Amino acid sequence: YMPHWEEFISAINGYQHTLKCVNKDVRYVRYRTCLSLFNMELPNRVLDSLSRGLETTHFESISLHNNSFGENGIDFLLSYMQNNPILEELHLGENPIDKSDDFDQLCEMVQEHPSLEHIELIGCNGEELNGFEMLCSIINVGSKKLKEIDLTDNGIGTGGSTFLSDFLATNPILKRLTLVGNRFNDEDATLIAAALKHNTNLISLDLQENDMMTRVGWEALYKAEFDDTSLNSAADSNHMCQIDYPNELTEMDGREQNRKGV
Protein backbone atom coordinates (compact mmCIF):
# COMPACT_ATOMS: atom_id res chain seq x y z
CA TYR A 1 0.00 0.00 0.00
CA MET A 2 2.95 2.37 0.49
CA PRO A 3 3.39 3.24 -3.22
CA HIS A 4 -0.16 4.56 -3.24
CA TRP A 5 0.48 6.75 -0.21
CA GLU A 6 3.73 8.04 -1.68
CA GLU A 7 1.90 8.93 -4.89
CA PHE A 8 -0.82 10.66 -2.88
CA ILE A 9 1.69 12.74 -0.91
CA SER A 10 3.56 13.65 -4.07
CA ALA A 11 0.29 14.77 -5.67
CA ILE A 12 -0.52 16.97 -2.67
CA ASN A 13 2.87 18.64 -2.77
CA GLY A 14 2.57 19.35 -6.48
CA TYR A 15 -1.04 20.45 -6.46
CA GLN A 16 -1.41 22.15 -3.10
CA HIS A 17 -2.48 25.58 -4.33
CA THR A 18 -5.69 24.30 -5.90
CA LEU A 19 -6.85 22.14 -3.02
CA LYS A 20 -9.85 23.98 -1.61
CA CYS A 21 -12.88 22.94 0.34
CA VAL A 22 -16.02 24.80 1.35
CA ASN A 23 -17.70 24.49 4.72
CA LYS A 24 -21.32 23.47 4.07
CA ASP A 25 -22.65 25.89 6.66
CA VAL A 26 -24.07 28.77 4.61
CA ARG A 27 -23.45 31.13 7.51
CA TYR A 28 -19.76 30.37 7.27
CA VAL A 29 -18.72 31.41 3.78
CA ARG A 30 -15.00 30.80 3.83
CA TYR A 31 -12.68 28.83 1.58
CA ARG A 32 -9.96 26.83 3.30
CA THR A 33 -7.30 24.45 2.12
CA CYS A 34 -8.22 21.19 3.80
CA LEU A 35 -6.73 17.73 4.29
CA SER A 36 -9.33 15.13 5.28
CA LEU A 37 -8.59 11.48 6.03
CA PHE A 38 -11.75 9.60 7.03
CA ASN A 39 -12.24 5.96 7.99
CA MET A 40 -8.85 4.68 6.94
CA GLU A 41 -6.13 3.17 9.06
CA LEU A 42 -2.91 5.14 9.34
CA PRO A 43 -0.18 2.73 10.44
CA ASN A 44 3.22 3.98 11.52
CA ARG A 45 4.82 3.72 8.08
CA VAL A 46 2.08 5.85 6.57
CA LEU A 47 2.29 8.39 9.39
CA ASP A 48 6.05 8.68 8.90
CA SER A 49 5.62 9.30 5.18
CA LEU A 50 2.84 11.81 5.76
CA SER A 51 4.93 13.63 8.33
CA ARG A 52 7.85 13.98 5.91
CA GLY A 53 5.67 14.82 2.94
CA LEU A 54 3.65 17.50 4.72
CA GLU A 55 6.55 19.39 6.26
CA THR A 56 6.22 22.12 3.65
CA THR A 57 2.59 21.63 2.62
CA HIS A 58 0.41 23.73 4.91
CA PHE A 59 -3.34 23.29 5.05
CA GLU A 60 -5.67 25.64 6.91
CA SER A 61 -7.81 22.72 8.07
CA ILE A 62 -7.05 19.09 8.91
CA SER A 63 -9.63 16.38 9.62
CA LEU A 64 -8.66 12.97 10.95
CA HIS A 65 -11.58 10.64 11.72
CA ASN A 66 -11.55 6.99 12.74
CA ASN A 67 -7.94 6.28 11.78
CA SER A 68 -6.90 3.85 14.53
CA PHE A 69 -3.55 5.55 14.87
CA GLY A 70 -3.03 5.60 18.67
CA GLU A 71 -0.13 7.41 20.31
CA ASN A 72 1.90 7.65 17.10
CA GLY A 73 -0.99 9.45 15.44
CA ILE A 74 -1.01 12.05 18.20
CA ASP A 75 2.74 12.56 17.70
CA PHE A 76 2.12 13.06 13.98
CA LEU A 77 -0.63 15.57 14.68
CA LEU A 78 1.46 17.56 17.15
CA SER A 79 4.37 17.67 14.73
CA TYR A 80 2.11 18.84 11.90
CA MET A 81 0.58 21.57 14.05
CA GLN A 82 4.00 22.77 15.13
CA ASN A 83 5.23 23.00 11.53
CA ASN A 84 2.05 24.59 10.18
CA PRO A 85 1.60 28.24 11.24
CA ILE A 86 -1.55 28.78 9.13
CA LEU A 87 -3.67 25.95 10.59
CA GLU A 88 -7.05 27.35 11.64
CA GLU A 89 -9.19 24.24 12.12
CA LEU A 90 -8.42 20.92 13.80
CA HIS A 91 -10.98 18.12 13.48
CA LEU A 92 -10.24 14.91 15.36
CA GLY A 93 -12.97 12.29 15.58
CA GLU A 94 -13.19 8.73 16.90
CA ASN A 95 -9.45 8.70 17.51
CA PRO A 96 -9.28 8.15 21.29
CA ILE A 97 -6.49 9.91 23.16
CA ASP A 98 -5.59 7.31 25.76
CA LYS A 99 -2.82 9.06 27.68
CA SER A 100 -3.34 12.25 29.67
CA ASP A 101 0.22 13.35 28.79
CA ASP A 102 -0.68 13.27 25.08
CA PHE A 103 -3.75 15.39 25.72
CA ASP A 104 -1.72 17.84 27.80
CA GLN A 105 0.71 18.23 24.90
CA LEU A 106 -2.20 18.82 22.53
CA CYS A 107 -3.53 21.54 24.84
CA GLU A 108 -0.12 23.20 24.97
CA MET A 109 -0.01 23.18 21.18
CA VAL A 110 -3.49 24.71 21.00
CA GLN A 111 -2.41 27.47 23.37
CA GLU A 112 0.81 28.22 21.51
CA HIS A 113 -0.46 27.94 17.94
CA PRO A 114 -0.60 31.33 16.19
CA SER A 115 -3.76 30.86 14.11
CA LEU A 116 -5.87 27.96 15.43
CA GLU A 117 -9.45 29.05 16.17
CA HIS A 118 -11.61 25.95 15.72
CA ILE A 119 -11.13 22.61 17.51
CA GLU A 120 -13.30 19.52 17.21
CA LEU A 121 -12.62 16.48 19.38
CA ILE A 122 -15.45 14.00 18.84
CA GLY A 123 -15.36 10.81 20.89
CA CYS A 124 -11.72 11.31 21.84
CA ASN A 125 -11.75 10.65 25.59
CA GLY A 126 -9.58 7.59 26.03
CA GLU A 127 -8.59 5.42 28.96
CA GLU A 128 -6.95 8.07 31.14
CA LEU A 129 -9.07 11.05 30.14
CA ASN A 130 -12.02 12.49 32.00
CA GLY A 131 -14.50 14.26 29.74
CA PHE A 132 -15.08 17.22 32.04
CA GLU A 133 -11.34 17.70 32.52
CA MET A 134 -11.01 17.73 28.73
CA LEU A 135 -13.58 20.51 28.52
CA CYS A 136 -11.91 22.56 31.25
CA SER A 137 -8.46 22.17 29.73
CA ILE A 138 -9.57 23.17 26.23
CA ILE A 139 -11.38 26.22 27.61
CA ASN A 140 -8.43 27.22 29.77
CA VAL A 141 -5.93 27.16 26.92
CA GLY A 142 -8.28 28.49 24.27
CA SER A 143 -10.43 31.05 26.09
CA LYS A 144 -8.86 33.99 24.25
CA LYS A 145 -8.44 32.42 20.81
CA LEU A 146 -10.93 29.63 20.06
CA LYS A 147 -14.10 30.66 18.25
CA GLU A 148 -15.52 27.15 17.83
CA ILE A 149 -15.35 24.16 20.17
CA ASP A 150 -16.95 20.78 19.49
CA LEU A 151 -16.60 18.13 22.21
CA THR A 152 -19.36 15.77 21.12
CA ASP A 153 -19.55 12.27 22.68
CA ASN A 154 -16.88 12.61 25.35
CA GLY A 155 -18.92 11.59 28.40
CA ILE A 156 -18.75 15.10 29.84
CA GLY A 157 -20.58 15.61 33.13
CA THR A 158 -20.00 18.61 35.37
CA GLY A 159 -20.66 16.97 38.73
CA GLY A 160 -22.25 20.23 39.85
CA SER A 161 -19.35 22.42 38.79
CA THR A 162 -20.16 25.91 37.49
CA PHE A 163 -16.95 26.14 35.44
CA LEU A 164 -18.67 26.14 32.04
CA SER A 165 -21.44 28.57 32.95
CA ASP A 166 -18.95 30.88 34.68
CA PHE A 167 -16.85 30.87 31.52
CA LEU A 168 -19.80 31.67 29.25
CA ALA A 169 -20.88 34.50 31.56
CA THR A 170 -17.55 36.26 30.95
CA ASN A 171 -18.64 36.78 27.33
CA PRO A 172 -15.59 35.15 25.69
CA ILE A 173 -14.91 35.33 21.95
CA LEU A 174 -16.34 31.80 21.49
CA LYS A 175 -18.94 31.75 18.70
CA ARG A 176 -20.04 28.11 18.53
CA LEU A 177 -20.15 25.49 21.25
CA THR A 178 -21.21 21.90 20.49
CA LEU A 179 -21.58 19.44 23.38
CA VAL A 180 -23.85 16.82 21.85
CA GLY A 181 -24.14 13.37 23.41
CA ASN A 182 -22.61 14.07 26.82
CA ARG A 183 -23.93 13.97 30.40
CA PHE A 184 -25.23 17.48 31.06
CA ASN A 185 -28.36 17.70 33.20
CA ASP A 186 -31.13 20.17 34.05
CA GLU A 187 -29.02 21.95 36.66
CA ASP A 188 -26.27 22.49 34.08
CA ALA A 189 -28.81 23.77 31.56
CA THR A 190 -30.24 26.23 34.09
CA LEU A 191 -26.78 27.56 34.91
CA ILE A 192 -25.91 27.90 31.21
CA ALA A 193 -29.21 29.69 30.59
CA ALA A 194 -28.36 32.22 33.30
CA ALA A 195 -24.91 32.73 31.79
CA LEU A 196 -26.38 33.43 28.35
CA LYS A 197 -28.00 36.58 29.74
CA HIS A 198 -24.48 38.01 29.98
CA ASN A 199 -23.18 36.65 26.68
CA THR A 200 -23.43 38.49 23.36
CA ASN A 201 -20.79 36.59 21.37
CA LEU A 202 -22.04 33.00 21.33
CA ILE A 203 -24.21 32.44 18.26
CA SER A 204 -24.67 28.66 18.36
CA LEU A 205 -25.16 26.21 21.24
CA ASP A 206 -25.94 22.52 20.73
CA LEU A 207 -26.66 20.32 23.76
CA GLN A 208 -28.77 17.69 22.03
CA GLU A 209 -28.63 14.01 22.99
CA ASN A 210 -27.70 14.77 26.60
CA ASP A 211 -30.09 12.17 27.99
CA MET A 212 -29.93 13.51 31.55
CA MET A 213 -31.56 16.76 30.39
CA THR A 214 -35.36 16.89 30.60
CA ARG A 215 -37.92 19.43 29.48
CA VAL A 216 -37.05 21.46 32.61
CA GLY A 217 -33.54 22.14 31.33
CA TRP A 218 -34.69 22.84 27.78
CA GLU A 219 -37.34 25.26 29.03
CA ALA A 220 -34.67 27.19 30.94
CA LEU A 221 -32.55 27.45 27.79
CA TYR A 222 -35.55 28.50 25.72
CA LYS A 223 -36.37 31.29 28.17
CA ALA A 224 -32.81 32.54 27.98
CA GLU A 225 -33.18 32.76 24.23
CA PHE A 226 -36.72 34.15 24.25
CA ASP A 227 -38.56 34.83 27.50
CA ASP A 228 -42.09 35.82 26.50
CA THR A 229 -43.27 36.43 30.06
CA SER A 230 -43.41 40.17 29.36
CA LEU A 231 -42.17 42.72 26.86
CA ASN A 232 -39.29 43.59 29.17
CA SER A 233 -38.24 39.97 29.59
CA ALA A 234 -38.42 39.45 25.84
CA ALA A 235 -36.25 42.51 25.27
CA ASP A 236 -33.72 41.30 27.85
CA SER A 237 -33.44 37.83 26.31
CA ASN A 238 -30.37 36.64 24.43
CA HIS A 239 -31.07 37.52 20.80
CA MET A 240 -27.70 36.34 19.46
CA CYS A 241 -27.48 32.65 20.34
CA GLN A 242 -29.27 30.00 18.27
CA ILE A 243 -29.93 26.94 20.44
CA ASP A 244 -30.59 23.57 18.81
CA TYR A 245 -33.53 21.79 20.45
CA PRO A 246 -34.47 18.09 20.27
CA ASN A 247 -37.14 17.30 17.68
CA GLU A 248 -39.39 15.69 20.28
CA LEU A 249 -39.96 19.00 22.04
CA THR A 250 -42.82 19.88 19.72
CA GLU A 251 -44.32 22.59 21.91
CA MET A 252 -41.04 24.44 22.06
CA ASP A 253 -40.51 23.94 18.35
CA GLY A 254 -43.88 25.55 17.75
CA ARG A 255 -43.05 28.57 19.88
CA GLU A 256 -39.73 28.86 18.09
CA GLN A 257 -41.52 29.02 14.76
CA ASN A 258 -43.86 31.67 16.14
CA ARG A 259 -40.94 33.71 17.39
CA LYS A 260 -39.23 33.56 14.00
CA GLY A 261 -42.45 34.57 12.32
CA VAL A 262 -42.92 37.70 14.41
pLDDT in tens for each of the 262 residues of the chain? 788 988 988 888 776 555 555 444 545 455 678 899 999 999 999 999 999 988 888 899 999 999 988 889 999 999 999 999 999 999 999 999 999 999 999 999 999 999 999 999 999 998 889 999 999 999 999 999 999 999 999 999 999 999 999 999 999 999 999 999 999 999 999 999 999 999 999 999 999 999 999 999 999 999 998 877 777 776 777 788 999 999 877 555 555 544 444 3
Cβ 67 vs Cβ 37: under 8 Å: yes
Q: In what order do the strands lie in the sheet with 242-244?
A: 34-38, 61-65, 89-93, 118-122, 148-150, 176-178, 204-206, 242-244
Of the candidates 215, 216, 220, the one whose C-alpha atom is nearest the C-alpha of residue 238 is 220
Q: CA angle, 94 as apex, 92 and 100 as ends, to 5°? A: 75
What does pTM read for this prediction? 0.89
